[in-house]
Amino acid sequence: MANIACFVEGYNFTDQREEKALQNFKRTAEQMGHNFDFMYRENISDIPKYDAVFIRATTDPLFTSYIVSKTADELGLKVIDDPESIQICGNKIHQYALFKKHAIPHIPTIFVNKTDIHRRCLMGIFRELGKPVVIKAPYTSFSRYVEKAACETSFREVAKRFFRKSDILAVQAFMPTAYDWRVGVLDGKVLYVCKYMIPKGRWKHGAKLRGKPTFIWGRTVSMKRENAPATLKELALKACNVIGHGLYGVDVKEANGKYVVVEVNDNPSIYAGYEDLRDKDLYGKIIEYLTD
Amino acid sequence: MFWAEHFQRFVRFRFLYQLIDSKLNKRIQLILNMQAVIPNQPSHGVTWVLVVSNIDLTTNLPTMEPETFLQSTIKDAVINISHDYRYMKIGYYVSMHAEILGDTVIPSSKSIIEANRTPILLLKASKAGIPILPYLVTSSVKQIMSELTFPLVSFAVNPFSYDGYRIATNRSSLYRAVKSLSMNYKFAVCAQPLKGEMVSVKSIFGKCEAPEAVKRVSEKVYEVFKIPLCKLHVQNVGSEILLCGLQPLKKEEVLPEDLRTISEKISELSKTGGMPIG
């Protein structure tokens, strides 16, 4: 019997689908004969009491979740997400540099720093990537801090905002599609596959309504992992291989019959009735990995 | 008249483009020169290192601007000198880029993240035998009061604050400190008991102008994290020096005499036959 701590924050329980998924993890672990406790920020000092840590709170090297991950890792505990994965997936510049190095097919990307924001460079970017371009802050998650720019003025405006936190930004070619593939990968094996549909009239899965604080999300269409295209699964596994052997959600775009990686996310969303709809065994597989 | 104006404007822009072009060519030439002067194999017992610095150093070794290095594909040993090694700042990206190229680099991107997160700094330091005090990571004032006793020193563990600490001697000052450092309880803080006097020292390659006991802690911190320039916060508890935190330096805190020390240390590292990468 293993003691598993699931690090969560209050917001993990605000969405019923996520809360249900967390309860599914707890029930599955208990059915497998393990102890599964939710651990909050106030209980971080209890980490040494556990055998494994499963992080469900949003990860970033600057968030408390990284401290939980690193502490667990230093103490020799099995941890999802491990600190290396958080470091690479939490910084898209790091991730795309690795994709370039290992020749992983990904959306054409150019890195820009503050000294590159001048007319000639911007014209060069538009010439190379076309118009509009997508400007991505390295710390993007849940479709936030990813914006389109079709002219120099809007490019400068977006870049100025994103440069407040990071000295380098990623600029990518705009590839509109009806959906993005999401491939869930655990320890080098495909866990689930689904399609994240893009809401009508939008270009990303999660979009903010103009003038309102609410976010609207596209539908999630699940399919059995066996039925997903083999080339898609191969590409997702190849992309994860350069990052690590943890739990990842790989976003892939399909254009003209070719697949390109959009990004690899650590701490992928798992909502009851969505990602788990066709592959119910994902809960058991994650618990098995943690207790192995 | 209209065409004459346009022609003049065209000539002016053309001149401007040529000027920018020549500057770019010079930049490319600099990179090519760098590759030529930095051999991959050490010769005559001297290991060449490339110094990437956003500070104007007085060193004979090849030095490169961070922005130039980020465009390059130089494969060598790299010393990344920056007053500010914060995550996602240019100092961090230089180390990250060097690692992706397969270069050995001081400091590593991992060390940069770890050293700037107080609880991880303390955890790794204690594992390496550096004396520390018990600490608590939380955003709950009640928990701090139940587990630690006043006076207390608190460090921020949020994505935005990197500098300083707050001392709390009573309940209300602790509430104020935690509210401010945790950004209205949104993030955690790292609280430690305050047993002695807080001392802050500037550490340059582990060297600092301080009593012997502080120097020893500074050297050990450098051994573990390899952060060339930083400010260390320690507690002087009688005969013992306890590590409390680390923060980046401000540019104005790097004095001319520090530049000499940095240059000497870089020359020393390159002459001793390599870099002690941890």
What is the C-alpha to C-alpha distance for residues B120 and B157, in angstroms, rounded to an integer? 10
**Average pLDDT across chain A, whole number:** 93
Question: What per-residue confidence (pLDDT) applies to B37?
Answer: 34
Q: Which residue of B has its CA nearest to A67?
A: B120
- Which residues of chain B have a CB within 8 Å of the CB of A45? 136-137
Cβ proximity of A80 and A246 under 8 Å = yes
- Those residues whose C-beta lies under 8 Å from the C-beta of residue B193, and which sit 6 or more positions away, are B133, B134, B148, B149, B151, B152, B153
- Which residues of chain B have a CB within 8 Å of the CB of A139? 88
CA–CA–CA angle B131, B89, A175 (5° rounding): 130
A74/B188 Cβ within 8 A:
no
> What are the beta bridge partners of residue B153?
B167, B192
Q: A-B interface: how many C-beta pairs under 8 angstroms?
A: 86
pLDDT profile of chain B (278 residues), mean per 10:
50 44 42 36 51 78 86 88 91 95 93 94 95 93 93 90 87 94 90 94 92 93 95 91 93 88 84 52
**Alpha carbon of A163: minimum distance to chain B alpha carbons (Å):** 10
What is the C-alpha to C-alpha distance for residues A179 and A192, in angstroms, rounded to an integer? 16
What is the C-alpha to C-alpha distance for residues B97 and B105, in angstroms, rounded to an integer? 10
**Alpha carbon of A261: minimum distance to chain B alpha carbons (Å):** 19
Cβ proximity of A290 and A78 under 8 Å = yes
- Which residues of chain A have a CB within 8 Å of the CB of B157? 64, 67
**Alpha carbon of A210: minimum distance to chain B alpha carbons (Å):** 26
Cβ proximity of B229 and B249 under 8 Å = yes
What is the C-alpha to C-alpha distance for residues B2 and A1, in angstroms, rounded to an integer? 86
Q: How confident is the model over A48-76, as a mean pLDDT?
A: 95
A74/B96 Cβ within 8 A:
no
B90/A44 Cβ within 8 A:
no
> What are the beta bridge partners of residue A173?
A133
Q: Which residue of A has its CA nearest to B126?
A: A74
Which helix (H) or strand (E) segment holds residue A165: the answer is none
Instruction: Report the complex ipTM.
Output: 0.93
Q: How confident is the model over A91-112, as a mean pLDDT?
A: 95
A60/B88 Cβ within 8 A:
no
Long-range contacts: B202-211, Cβ < 8 Å, 24+?
A: B202/B229, B202/B230, B202/B231, B202/B249, B202/B253, B202/B258, B203/B227, B203/B229, B203/B230, B203/B231, B203/B232, B204/B228, B204/B229, B204/B258, B204/B261, B204/B262, B204/B265, B205/B261, B205/B262, B205/B265, B207/B261, B207/B265, B208/B232
Q: By three-state DSSP, how is residue A26 classified? A: helix
A113/B139 Cβ within 8 A:
no
Cβ proximity of A174 and A198 under 8 Å = no
- Which residues of chain B have a CB within 8 Å of the CB of A165? 88, 159
Question: What per-residue confidence (pLDDT) applies to A105?
Answer: 96
Kindly state the percentage of chain A with pLDDT values over 90. Answer: 84
Q: By three-state DSSP, how is residue A74 classified? A: helix
What is the C-alpha to C-alpha distance for residues A36 and A25, in angstroms, rounded to an integer? 8
Q: Which residue of B has its CA nearest to A119?
A: B17
Nearest to B123 among A71, A98, A111 (CB): A71
Question: What per-residue confidence (pLDDT) applies to A141?
Answer: 82
Nearest to B93 among A61, A115, A168 (CB): A168
Nearest to B157 among A67, A166, A167 (CB): A67
Is A101 within 8 Å of chain B by CB?
Answer: yes
Is A67 within 8 Å of chain B by CB?
Answer: yes
Kindly report, residue by residue over A201-227, the tens digit of the pLDDT.
788 887 777 777 777 788 899 999 999
Nearest to B124 among A63, A74, A111 (CB): A74
Kindly report, residue by residue over A10-22, the tens digit of the pLDDT.
999 999 999 999 9
pTM equals 0.88
Is A165 within 8 Å of chain B by CB?
Answer: yes
Nearest to B93 among A42, A165, A167 (CB): A167
**pLDDT at position A63 over 70:** yes
Whole-Å CA distances, B182 to A4, A39, A279, B156, B165: 27, 19, 40, 6, 12
A64/B137 Cβ within 8 A:
yes
List the structure tokens of A21. Answer: 């998924």
Is A74 within 8 Å of chain B by CB?
Answer: yes
The Cβ of residue B19 has, within 10 Å, a number of other Cβ atoms equal to 10
Helix ranges (H only) for chain A are: 16-31, 64-74, 83-89, 92-101, 119-129, 152-162, 230-241, 282-291
What is the C-alpha to C-alpha distance for residues A150 and A175, in angstroms, rounded to an integer? 13
A120/B20 Cβ within 8 A:
yes
Kindly report, residue by residue over A131-176, the tens digit of the pLDDT.
999 999 999 887 788 999 999 999 999 999 999 999 999 999 999 9
- Of the pLDDT bands very low, low, confident and very high (cuts 50, 70, 90), residue A104 is very high
DSSP codes of every residue in B113-155: HHHHSHHHHHHHHHHTT--B---EEES-HHHHHHHS-SSEEEE
